[in-house]
Amino acid sequence: MKSATSFLLAARQCEIAELEELARTGELVGATGRFIHALQRERGICNVFLSSHGSRFASQRLRQVEECEAAEREVREQFEALETDAQRVRNGSRLFSRVAVVLHALDGLPALRGRIARQALSARDATVAYVKLVTGLLAVVFEAADSATDPKVSRALVAMFNFMQGKELAGQERALGAGVFAAGYIDASGQQQWRHLIESQQACFRVFTDFADTEVLRADQASRDPAALAELERLRRIGCSTRRELDPNLSQAWYEWATRRIDAMRAVEDVLARHLRELCEARIAQARSELRDQRAMLAALASDPAAETGASFGPHLERSVLGMVQEQSRRLQQMSDELDAVRTSLNERKLVERAKGLLMAHRQMTEDDAYKALRQMAMNQNRRIVDVAEAVLSLAEVLPGGSG
């Protein structure tokens, strides 16, 4: 019959198995980050290529497609390595479903590239297609972060997800700015959208700063080039506040400064990925050594002559086992508490998703329009988008025809 101590050891083994799975997830997240970066570059290059009617960046585009394909192979290998065996993966149903969405979109990538090469679609439509693909990849990273059961690893994954999300928003800002400067003109709604992209980035980087390890934060600080940031801020100011015509020559400068910043972020992502890997390795080693200690202690207790006297352990051993059981219970409770605190930030994203779903269902909106409506409300009311989402959801509860 299984005893208290066998469950004690089983709990520890589960913990190790969970950590090992997290380590594999970390590899997947790392490869996804590299692929997203390549896609972001390809998106930017295609934008210029299509906007210039094929006169610029034609060869850069072909080189970038090759780079992107290499990064894609790496991600596909990680997907391949996922154990799709039911029951073996935490959060499997949602993670696999996100992967299915991504793989389906990837299957359509060659056709998209063909249309771009033939200039058979607008720069805007091409951007939308790339944004969709990156969003799908970020959703995979989100599910990975959401499945973490170790608070330290979960912190690192939340930091990483928010950094990647902030970087993607920076990429979208790069595309917007490049288009605006190239057109030589921006209207009020474009300016509002630009400001909102800046604010959303800042929100992501705030969460990143709250959750990232000091070593990662130092790398992030070191990666920032003050001269580049100053130049970027100057161009942002011109784009976001000028009412007169813009100098189309600024498009190239903007693109290059924004790219320099985004490439620096890529280096930070590498540090984040390395930190995550080391963290998992350290936690696994620690849990393994604790399991060994527990086993050794239980073996010593079992061979203690006092154990022979009673039907069960003697009073001395009794206390030792009780101590171990209580200690482990207390430690797991504490870990679970820490985890809840970390996950608050993930829940904020889920609130926005829920509000979006509500608008889609009740106002017959597309996903994109629902998000835009939320963003517009946030901008109008000068509130965070998550607060608007919460307001929408609580309103739905009191209105008839709600999600009841």
List Cβ neighbours of 25 (8 Å cut-off, separation of 6 or more): 144, 147, 148, 157
Q: Is 380 in the site for a second copy (CB under 8 A)?
A: no
Q: Is 96 in the site for a second copy (CB under 8 A)?
A: yes
- Give whichever of 6 and 122 is closer to a second copy, judged by the CB atom: 6
Q: How far is the CB of 27 from a second copy (least distance, A)?
A: 17
Q: How far is the CB of 91 from a second copy (least distance, A)?
A: 8
State the number of binding residues for a second copy (CB under 8 A).
60
Contact window for a second copy (CB under 8 A) among 22-30, 94-102, 117-125, 222-230? 94-102
- Give whichever of 247 and 337 is closer to a second copy, judged by the CB atom: 337
DSSP result, 132-148: HHHHHHHHHHHHHHHT-
Contact window for a second copy (CB under 8 A) among 52-60, 200-208, 220-228, 321-329? 321-329
Work out which of 14, 285, 299, 302 binds a second copy, going by CB under 8 A: 14
- Buried/exposed code over 53-83 (b: 16+ C-beta within 10 A; e: otherwise): eeeebeebbeebbeebeebbeebeebbeebe
Work out which of 54, 92, 190, 314 binds a second copy, going by CB under 8 A: 92
Closest by CA to 255, choosing from 239, 278, 277, 276, is 239
Closest by CA to 388, choosing from 366, 340, 365, 356, is 356
Query: Helix or strand or coil: residue 234?
Result: helix
How are the residues of the chain apportioned to helix, strand and coil, as percentages rounded to the nearest 5? 85, 0, 15
Contact window for a second copy (CB under 8 A) among 45-53, 174-182, 246-254, 328-336? 328-336
DSSP-H helix ranges across 82-225: 92-107, 109-117, 123-146, 151-183, 188-211, 214-223
Query: What is the helix (H) or strand (E) element at residue 250, kind and residue range?
Result: helix 250-303
Work out which of 122, 334, 381, 394 binds a second copy, going by CB under 8 A: 334
- State the number of CA atoms in the 13 A half-sphere of 27 facing the CB: 15
Cα separation of 346 and 360, whole Å?
21
Q: How far is the CB of 139 from a second copy (least distance, A)?
A: 9
Q: Which residue has the tokens 């970027």?
A: 232
Q: Is 10 in the site for a second copy (CB under 8 A)?
A: yes
Q: Is 88 in the site for a second copy (CB under 8 A)?
A: yes
Work out which of 119, 249, 336, 366 binds a second copy, going by CB under 8 A: 336
Q: Tell me which residues in 97-136 interact with a second copy (CB under 8 A).
A: 97-101, 103-104, 107
Binding site for a second copy (CB under 8 A): 1-8, 10-18, 21, 76, 79-80, 84, 86-101, 103-104, 107, 149, 312, 321-322, 325-326, 328-329, 332-334, 336-337, 340, 347, 350, 353-354, 357
